[in-house]
Structure 1
Amino acid sequence: MSGEARERDDDVDLLIDAWSRRLPDVDLTPLDVMSRLRRVALRLARLRAEAFFSAGLSVWEFDVLAALRRADEPHELSPAQLIESTMIGSAAMTNRLEKLAARGLVERRPNPRDGRGVLVRLSPEGTERVDAAMTELVRREAEELAGLSREEQGILTRLLGRLLV
């Protein structure tokens, strides 16, 4: 982004200026994008944690509950499906499910298709909390994006999508 598009130099501009003095032969233009993306990601992580905390959840609790909430009725998945959805290990998932069940946010029951397995279902309390957390997250994210027009948000969405591929 050119300096003309912003009202003043930001921290990334200052960082790039400092590095350009140390490494004058290195093209630092990728930092214009990637350093800003990193800073936005850090700000988003804080925003998300605050939104989830407002609903009485930690980030990891939200991740598991949200995976269950996105599942079709009765919002029930196997631990293996939750592991795949949240991309965490088996031991960590077992620990998380125990804690969520102790808080009454999920219920576990035997899997009728597999006598050794269990199914994890979102409880009414879990549904209430994850819905509240998501509602608050969307509200806060909308506030963060308020400085961009719908068109600019669409452009940013498409550009970020290309980076994800």
Structure 2
Amino acid sequence: MTDEVDRIVAAWQRERPDLDVEPLSVLSRVSRLARHLDLARRTAFDRHDLELWEFDVLSALRRAGDPYQLSPGALVTQTLVTSGTMTNRIDRLAARGLVERLPVPADRRGVLVRLTPAGRARVDAALEDLLRVEHGLLGSLREADRETLAALLRELVAPFDA
């Protein structure tokens, strides 16, 4: 089986035989897969009236467990955005009734962001839809191959997360 990346790699090997283009055979596929995954996720989230960034914030709160709340700083850490961006995102989610701001009891200046029941219902439904889509994307791989692929990708990604 050949794909577009095989054709790209072969063309570069022909045109630049002096270069080792082997990384393209892996990372170009990862890049192409990321684009397909992004489209699939956007489509799944659209069905629940959510943007990708909204799902990221809501899912971070949902994963926190009951009472589904985190500080804005913890949300910044989990979603890899700036504090200014997070403030804007919290404002927008609060305006939609998906999160609420609560004072930190021990700190008058502190704030917690809590998932509302509407936010929890929305993120739960979106996650279920997303998982159906993603199971479909991985459907051609055997379970053992999915586990191997996950382990290999973990090795590549771990240094970035450290």
Q: Which has the higher contact order (CA 8 A, sep 6+)?
A: 1
Q: Which residue is 1:11 aligned to? A: 4
- The 2-side partners of 1:47 and 1:114 are apart by 42
SS in structure 1 at match of 2:126: helix
* Percentage of pairs with the same residue: 49
Q: TM-score, normalised by structure 2?
A: 0.93
Gaps of 5+ in 1: 1-5
State the match for 2:37 in structure 1.
Answer: 44
TM-score normalised according to structure 1 size:
0.92
Report the 3-state secondary structure (helix = DSSP H, G, I; strand = E; otherwise coil) of the residue aligned with 1:110: strand
Residue in 2 aligned with 1:3?
Answer: none
Q: Deviations over 1:44-69 (max 9, x none)?
A: 11111111111110000001101100
d(CA) in 2 for partners of 1:81, 1:32: 37
Count of aligned residue pairs for this structure pair: 158
Deviation digits for residues 111-137 of structure 1 (CA, Å, limit 9, x no counterpart): 112101211110011001101111111
Structure 1 consecutive aligned stretches of length 4 or more whose deviation exceeds 2 Å = none
Q: CA deviation at 1:72?
A: 2.2
2:89 paired residue number = 96
Cα deviation per residue 1:74-100 (whole Å; 9 max; x = unaligned)? 101111111111111111111111100
CA-based RMSD of the aligned residues comes to 1.0
Aligned counterpart for 2:142 among listed residues 128, 136, 149: 149
SS at match of 1:72: coil
SS in 2 for 1:56: coil
Q: Does 1:21 align with 2:17?
A: no
Name the SS of the counterpart of 1:100 in structure 2. helix
Once residues 157 and 80 of structure 2 are traced to their aligned partners in structure 1, the CA distance between those partners, rounded to angstroms, is 17
Look up the SS of the partner of 2:61 in the other structure. Answer: helix
1:83 equivalenced with 2:73 (yes/no): no
For residues 125-164 of structure 1, the aligned pairs below 5 Å read 125-164=118-157
The partner residue of 1:61 within 40, 54, 61 is 54
- Which residue identity lines up with residue 139 of structure 1 in the other structure? R
What are structure 2's unaligned runs of at least 5 residues? none
Partner in structure 2 of residue 72 of structure 1: 65
2:106 match: 113
Cα distance in 1, alignment partners of residues 14 and 51 from structure 2: 42
